[in-house]
Amino acid sequence: MGLLDDKVVLVNGGSQGVGAAIARAAVREGAVVAVTGRRPEPGEALVEELTAAGGKALYVRADLSDAEQAKASVARVVQTYGRVDCLVNSAGLTSRGTLLDTTPELFDQHIGINLKGPFFAMQAVVADMVGRQEPGTVVNIITSSAHGGQPFLAPYVAAKAGLIGLTRNAAHAHRWDRVRINGLNIGWTATEGEDATQKTFHGAGDDWREEAAAKLPMGKLGQPDEIADFVVFLLSDRSGVVTGSVIDWDQNVLGGLD
């Protein structure tokens, strides 16, 4: 028996990185999975991989910064599979900007991907759950940087901190509907997107992962498959009654000083 047997799981931003790892873990645990993303190539490749391994999967092309597309992607999954039991919001934009150099356009991009998309996807998914009078679970992938972060993450931090507040607000609002909503503040993670970010914004070389890992307490960056296993647990009934929790999934301790 898998932790997510017969569950329909929608993973927003699920075509690569942490989202793709969550999709793989969910299928392994018995779920039917739908993934969204802006680029069809990695999304369709992931679905092909999952179906070849015996899973059931669907790719839905969507720009989640557009509220209508975020809601329409949920409608597509409901139309295809009849419902959504679990939602993961893992899409994220990490482009750089400080308080002084962030443009209104960059700020709006961060709000769109990192906050507005999750808001309206949750709206549509929770409406489906409440309409069916069935329980469900949501996990929002946030960031440890939401506690403050580096100066060059100003718009990112602003949007993700908003997602923390939204997670708790929605969890409180829908606890009597038996919809559990939690968040995960992940730390520095080895993904394709982070590789591109390090090389684009920080001039990093191909060995940046090894250099970064050597400076971290556990000797490695966060791994997508480890995050995925934790997310599957939060989505599943094995996590019990937990709701409204925003968990720091990181190797640095908030408030700890050397």
- With beta carbons less than 8 A apart as the criterion, state whether 78 and 126 touch: no
The residues annotated with a catalytic role in the active site are: 156
pLDDT in tens, 192-245: 778 788 888 888 888 888 988 898 899 999 899 999 999 999 999 999 999 999
Residue-level pLDDT at 181: 98
Report how far residue 204's alpha carbon sits from residue 209's, in angstroms, rounded to the nearest whole number. Answer: 9
- By residue count, the chain amounts to 258
Residue-level pLDDT at 116: 98
Q: Which CATH class is domain 8-187+222-249?
A: alpha beta
Indicate the SS3 state at residue 177.
helix
pTM of the model: 0.94
pLDDT in tens, 44-71: 999 999 999 999 999 999 999 999 999 9
Structural domain spans, the chain: 8-187+222-249
Distances (CA, A) of 252 to 55, 133, 140, 163, 202: 36, 40, 20, 21, 22
Average pLDDT of every residue of the chain: 95
